[in-house]
Amino acid sequence: MTRLRTRTVAGVAAATFAAGGLSALAAHSAAADDAPGIHVADGRIVEADGTDLVLRGVNHPHAWYTGTTTQALADIKSVDANAVRVVLASGERWTRTSASEVASIVDECEANRLICQLEVHDTTGYGEQAGAATLDQAADYWEYLYPTLAGTEDHVLVNIGNEPYGNDEATNAGWADDTSAAIQRLRDVGYEHALVVDAPSWGQDWAHIMSDQASTVAAADPAGNTIFSVHMYGVYSQGSTVTEYLEHFVDLGLPLMIGEFGYTHSDGDVAYDTILAETERLGIGWLAWSWSGNGGGVEYLDLVENFDVGSPSPWGERIFTGPDGLSETSVEASVFGGGTPDPDPTPDPDPTEPEPGDGACTAELAVANAWQGGYQAQVTVTAGDAAIDGWTTTLPAGVEVTQLWGGTLGDDGTTVTHAAWNGNLGAGAATSYGFIGSGAAPSDAEVTCGTD
């Protein structure tokens, strides 16, 4: 079978399940609600306080450029990223990234207020790439790192293995079993982190192995805290292909991110405008490949030249400041102080129960996309000067909701209350819900908000 993708780096809503699947995943979702940090809730990635976590960031090749990381993380933050995916090496193909290095990376990410996604790159292309490590070998490495990473669950994601299979059909048939086994090993070791698993077929899942078997893998995680990651290169040359893949996971109620993508590659151009627009519409995270240091003919994927933030490439400019790029869509994680409650608030000398519309919260509607006969919108709910433990919004008159996620639609068709996981908001904290509406998008976008 023709290899669809190679890369060399210097020296790269409502869920519908088969019988029994829904109840199994619901039970695992409940388990994830008890997670100490970043976790899965109702098919979305949320922080410990229930705030949506929509990753917006880039990849950084630490394993091959260890001396650049400290400055790179500061620079990545300066272009408005809220997350970074860091390349580590387990020692099978590249020099092992030591526990002390990993500790330093995590500290630097925290200092720069970046969610830190750590990935093992040695697994890349197993079954097709000579010398690639297995997921079991990657699990050995994560076991070695457990004492270093324990307690970082609120700002670290563990990406078990990068692109853990090539295009070998026989090898790829074991993706679900091997991935489930690796997840269970990490849970046995003691990991409570959200775990990220990559798709087979060089991460692009063109044979739909991950999309077909993701619910099985999710149910295999005793903590119910697994996130799926697809890499989008030439397989995703058509915008419709991008949309269909993303919506498939939304419809399943399973959390998805785009762990890597470019604007072109050896297997063809990429519908990157659609990737950016559709992930914003659906609230799905992404991490662009890659900060700098690409070689072997794919230097065009560098976001900045020679690790210099002052020399962005055209690809970098598109990601940093283009439509739906970092400057427009990235929101800093609440774990770093954005919208978190005051730990010692001054009590109100004469507290009264706030009534709807009296300032307890505000809501803002934004139309993300519109077409003949319909539109998609998002409503952002923000708590006022005090924490709230539930909210209710009323959509503008004339709105007809056909599909809604992130909230609960009332019988009247216009009242939306919080979901089970996003009702508690600290002072100034925000959450959101989205919906598909029929007819014309509302010209009067006023939404009222109050507490339950």
Write down the pLDDT at residue 35: 65
Give tens-digit pLDDT for 374-426.
Answer: 888 888 899 888 989 898 999 988 899 988 877 899 989 889 999 876 788 88
**Mean pLDDT confidence for 253-267:** 97
Pick the catalytic residue from 108, 110, 163, 278: 163
Count CB neighbours of 93 within 10 A.
Answer: 17
Q: Where are the beta strands (DSSP E) in 50-206?
A: 56-60, 83-88, 115-120, 156-159, 195-198
pLDDT at residue 350 greater than cutoff 90: no
192 an active-site residue? Answer: no
Q: In what order do the strands lie in the sheet with 415-418?
A: 400-405, 430-438, 374-383, 361-371, 446-450, 392-394, 415-418, 407-409
Instruction: Give percent of the chain above pLDDT 70.
Output: 87
Write down the pLDDT at residue 397: 85
Write down the pLDDT at residue 394: 93
Q: Beta strand 392-394 with 415-418: parallel, antiparallel or unpaired? A: antiparallel
Cα distances (Å, whole numbers) of residue 34 to 27, 39, 276, 349: 12, 9, 32, 34
Name the band, by pLDDT with cuts 50, 70 and 90, for residue 359.
Answer: confident
153 an active-site residue? Answer: no
Write down the pLDDT at residue 378: 86
Pick the catalytic residue from 92, 110, 119, 260: 260
Whole-number average pLDDT of the chain: 87
Check if the beta carbon of residue 332 is closer than 8 Å to that of residue 344: no
Task: Provide the 3-class DSSP secondary structure of residue 304.
Answer: strand
pLDDT at residue 99 greater than cutoff 60: yes
Six token digits for residue 259 = 């762990």
Least confident of 90-104, 181-195, 223-237, 328-342: 328-342
Give tens-digit pLDDT for 105-145.
Answer: 999 999 999 999 999 999 999 999 999 999 999 999 999 99
Task: Provide the 3-class DSSP secondary structure of residue 87.
Answer: strand
Instruction: Give percent of the chain above pLDDT 90.
Output: 70
Identity (one letter) of the amino acid at 368?
A
pLDDT at residue 314 greater than cutoff 90: yes
Write down the pLDDT at residue 338: 56
Six token digits for residue 393 = 């919004």
